[in-house]
Amino acid sequence: MTQDEMKKAAGWAALEYVPAGSIIGVGTGSTVNHFIDALATIKDQIKGAVSSSEASSARLKELGIPLFDLNEIEDFAVYVDGADEIDPSMAMIKGGGAALTREKIVAAVAQRFVCIVDGTKTVEVMGQFPLPVEVIPMAREYVARELTKLGGKPVYREGVVTDNGNHILDVHELSIIAPKKLETQINAIVGVVTNGLFAERGADVLLIGTPDGVKTRKC
């Protein structure tokens, strides 16, 4: 089974968590693209979607799923998104596709976070995947120096501008033994928009695509 087949299996399995008649929070990435395709097959049974990126909005629109502005919604039941790494406490690293800030905002409003991954994304301790940090462009070098003081090796993701017009630093070699503390510490650096640790708001349900079928973990 290829990695993409595992992503597809997890993406389609998430349909089970979509309540009829509701607005669905939609994340970003190759796994979510499978979920969007699945969602399109039941589009007549949902109200629509609130999206976490321009890329997902374009795909949702193309498949005829109505889009809602987050400012028009007080709350909604489910947010479905992928992850770059997820640990046993359901904390995640996200942002490999540079969509971390909007993802964190949409996830914050949702009642439930359903994370969809292929079997390569589950880890005991996070940090093998470099941690993405979205920064205001003029603060990039200052933030990089502060991240170095925290023990990381920040690398500027050249050529990438986020949907919010900002830059990304990918922080290598961080030891992520206390994800909630690190999430707060990095967010406190002036010039950081947000970082890709989703520990304060982790996943509630995890669907893992594996060669033996989709496995489920719940908080």
Ligand X SMILES: O=C[C@H](O)[C@H](O)[C@H](O)COP(=O)(O)O
Cα angle for residues 118, 124, 126 (degrees, 5° grid):
80
The answer to the question of whether 213 is labelled as a binding residue is: no
User: E strands along 165-204, which residues?
Assistant: 167-172, 192-195, 197-198
Active site residue 103: yes
Q: Which segment (54-62, 72-80, 90-98, 166-174) binds ligand X by CB under 6 A?
A: 90-98
Contact 36, 86 (CB under 8 A): no
Instruction: Report the nearest approach of ligand X to the CB of residue 21 (Å).
Output: 26
Q: How far apart are CA 190 and CA 74, in angstroms?
A: 29
Is 84 annotated for ligand binding? yes
Contact assessment for residue 9 and residue 213, using Cβ atoms and an 8 Å cutoff: yes
Q: Is 69 annotated as a binding residue?
A: no
- For residue 150, what are the CA distances in angstroms to 12, 30, 174? 39, 31, 8
User: Does 81 interact with ligand X (rule: CB under 6 A)?
Assistant: yes
Contacting ligand X within 92-111 (CB under 6 A)? 94-100, 103
Site mask for ligand X (CB under 6 A), range 16-45, x = bound: -----------xxxxx--------------
Distance in angstroms (rounded) separating the CA atoms of residues 203 and 88: 10
- Residue with the closest Cβ to ligand X? 29
56 is in an annotated binding site: no
Q: Which of 85, 103, 146, 183 is catalytic?
A: 103
Taking the least distance from each CB to ligand X, the nearer of 55 and 142 is 55
Where along the sequence are the contacts to ligand X (CB under 6 A)?
A: 27-31, 81-84, 94-100, 103
- Residues taking part in catalysis: 103
